[in-house]
Structure 1
Amino acid sequence: GIERLGDALQRASSGRSGRDALRAVARAYVDFGRHHPGLYALTLAGADGGDERVRAAGARVLDTVLAVLRGYGLQDEAALHATRFVRSAFHGFAALDRAGGFAMSLDQDASFDHLVDAVDAGLERLANARA
């Protein structure tokens, strides 16, 4: 599961930076959860245990997200906190989507765009606070 998620995130972020990379990675993350719910569920546990292949795949996912965050000027501990923030936001959207939690007659894609905009603004603010 985490290997395929890593592939999807790398493809999405390739050649992109900043907000564009964030939006592409967010879309890939949510789409992966939508189209591969069983595999997605396997990605939720940490990749610290298990075999070397799983650890390497988990590290690749993390490296992809950290590369996106470097586009905001976030590094080291700040980038790791931001990774948790980003993952929590996009996982929440993916989980609600999968559970049918967006039943209102409101454009779900517009809600997704608002989420990405809010995460982008939060990352910009975090980066500016550290500058």
Structure 2
Amino acid sequence: MDIHWGANWGLRLAIAAPMIAALSLGLFRFGLMDFRLPLLGVAVATAIAAVALVLAIIGLVWGGISGRALAALVIALAVLFVPLNTMRRGAAVPAIHDITTDLKNPPQFEAVQNIRSPSDNSLALDAKV
């Protein structure tokens, strides 16, 4: 039985995704790069893992169950778990610009009010935060 192209490419991309993420994080962790390029590398690895997941599902649906398709599915899900879980947890807390440490007498913005455009975020304090 011939392995479906979705399973083959899904596995290739699923293997590449954690390698790109690990390389990016390692370069940042050891101080070899500023955070910007490694952060882009993690985003690219996440996108590659998402494509690998789709290809693995295509391989499973049209090519039948195979070890390559299942491996691609598991690896892609493992890579996608971290950013998706981080997004889920981040959605449950207020945005960083809505946080103050002094709830009784929060600091008031003075100079910044004059340089902000009307389309910027509101400086009004939200009592429920």
**Could you say which TM-score interval applies, normalised by the shorter chain?**
0.3 to 0.5
TM-score (norm 2): 0.35
TM-score, structure 1 as length reference:
0.34
Rg comparison, structure with higher value: 2
